[in-house]
Amino acid sequence: MKIFATGALYRKGLPRKPASAMKQLTEEAVQGYLQRKVDLRHRMVSTTVAEVQKTIQRLTAEISKKDSRFQAISSSGVHHENLKVLAPSHFLITVPLVGLTGYKDRQVRHWRYYTVNGAKLLSPVRDPEEPQQWLEVEQFSKSLPQWHEADVNIQGDLVPARVLAVLRDLVEKSIQTCSLTDKVSIVEGYSSAVHVAVETPDFQVEVELVPSVEIPTCWPQKCEWPRCIKRWPCQEKVGCVKSFGFDLWAYSNYHWQKSFTRAEHVLMQGLDEDGGCRMTCFRVMRQMKEDVWCAGSKPVLTSFHLQMVLFWTCEKYPRCKDWHCFRKAFLRVVQKLHKCVSQHFLKHYFLKDTNLLKYANTNDLDAVAGKLAIFLENPALPQD
């Protein structure tokens, strides 16, 4: 039997920091932690992002020259909409796909009987589950002729595995063309996204390059958000969020994955216009995750998961006064995180039927749950 509420089964065998190495959640301790750890992380990540973006910009500019269906990314800093910092040494960068405009949802369902190599199947390919979908070139009112070619298209479907194969080939060639062999290398063993290792002056960063169809101003019909009238976010903010649309990522063999990167960015903006401490809670939680609860270059929890936890907590506690006391607010967010990790269940904020922890390693999740339980028993920040 697993007991997640108190963490009793986790305390045994888990190393604890000595009391002298921890500091209670006082205002002084929080400010010190922000200056000593959080601000330092921000500067380090900003520097790393600039280095990686400079390299990937060169690479994608060459890719775009070789194949006009892929757009070069720009360098716009840590908050660029095409870049997600999953961890300090693990980034996700979307590569926009060009020449597909005028998207509309597909209502007619039909079966697919092909492999990604184009061979015929006797039984159909499984239907996508949220947050995925099929994508047909006919769903766009305008499309470049190249999207009808067999290197990416099977029976009218744009096939993610084929798009990824084209991108991977372009990346390999462009690394050579740009003389980046000493800075960039392909990371083998992945079927989703094209993984490259980028050398920076301080350390190596793994970057996932994900082809992305950007669908601005259009909100997916199956995405019923908000589910009912809520006090957070306000209706004006909801309209603004939806106006930024969504993206479709080539992140699996057959199905395209919905992404709401721009919407998430808009929600994060102006979180504390009422003078609250939501962003401070998020930044401290992210730092604690990276330092204590879930360290490592490929953690089971990323900043994206923490962002979802923050959104759900903001929705549950929408009032200004709920976010004026850091200690109370922070513990509420961590309690929500602990509940999700303990139950191996975290709903996507925009897609209520999607469990973001469905395929996560359960042993890793249980280990994180144990550390969170210990923290909640004696909430304190590390001093070192």
pLDDT of residue 21: 52
- Over 60: is that where the pLDDT of 78 sits? no
Query: What pairing do the DSSP bridges indicate for beta strands 204-215 and 194-199?
Result: antiparallel
Question: Mean pLDDT, to the nearest integer, of 219-245?
Answer: 90
Task: Give, for 135, the enclosing helix (H) or strand (E).
Answer: none
List domains and CATH numbers for the chain: 8-99+162-382 (1.10.1410.40)
Q: What are the tokens at 212?
A: 């992305």
Q: What is the dihedral of CA 291, 292, 295, 299, to 10 degrees?
A: -120
Give the β-pairing of 153-154 and 140-143: unpaired
DSSP letters along 70-114, please?
BPPP----TT-TTEEEEETTEEEEEEEB-SEEEE----------B
- How far apart (Å, rounded) are the C-alpha atoms in residues 253 and 193? 10
Cβ–Cβ < 8 Å for 6, 372: no
Task: Indicate if the alpha-carbon torsion angle 303, 307, 83, 102 is positive or negative.
Answer: positive
Element (DSSP H or E) covering residue 157: strand 157-158
Indicate whether 17 pLDDT > 60: no
Contacts of 162 (CB under 8 A, 6+ apart): 116, 151, 152, 153, 154
Among 23, 14, 21, which residue's Cα sits nearest to residue 371? 14
Is the model's pLDDT at 77 over the cut of 70? Answer: no
Mean pLDDT over 356-379 rounds to 97
Cα separation, 138 vs 118, in Å, equals: 19
pLDDT digits (tens, 9 = 90+) for 243-264: 999 999 999 999 999 999 999 9
> Tens digit of pLDDT for each residue in 134-175?
999 999 999 999 999 999 999 999 999 999 999 999 999 999
Taking every pair of C-alpha atoms in the chain, what is the biggest distance, in angstroms?
66
CA of 205: how far to CAs of 39, 91, 106, 202, in Å? 20, 7, 38, 9
> pTM of this prediction?
0.90
What residues does 210 pair with on adjacent strands?
94
Residue with tokens 């923490």: 306
pLDDT tens string 178-203: 999 999 999 998 778 899 999 999 99
Per DSSP (E only), the strands in 170-280 are 184-186, 194-199, 204-215, 246-250, 256-259
The rounded distance, in Å, linking the Cα atoms of 57 and 93 is 11
**Please, what's the b/e burial string for 208-246 (b: 16 or more CB within 10 A of its CB; e: otherwise)?**
bbbbbbbbeeebbeebebeeeeeebbeeeebebbbebbb
**Most confident region among 2-16, 26-40, 122-136, 367-381 by mean pLDDT:** 367-381
Instruction: Give CA–CA dist 361/366, Å, rounded.
Output: 9
**What pLDDT was estimated at residue 2?**
34
Higher-scoring residue by pLDDT: 16, 261: 261
Say how far residue 368 (Cα) sits from the centre of its chain: 19
Contact 80, 57 (CB under 8 A): no
Residue whose token pair is 């993206």: 247
pLDDT at 87 over 80: yes
Average pLDDT of the chain is: 90
Q: β-strand 256-259 against 83-87: which pairing, if any?
A: unpaired
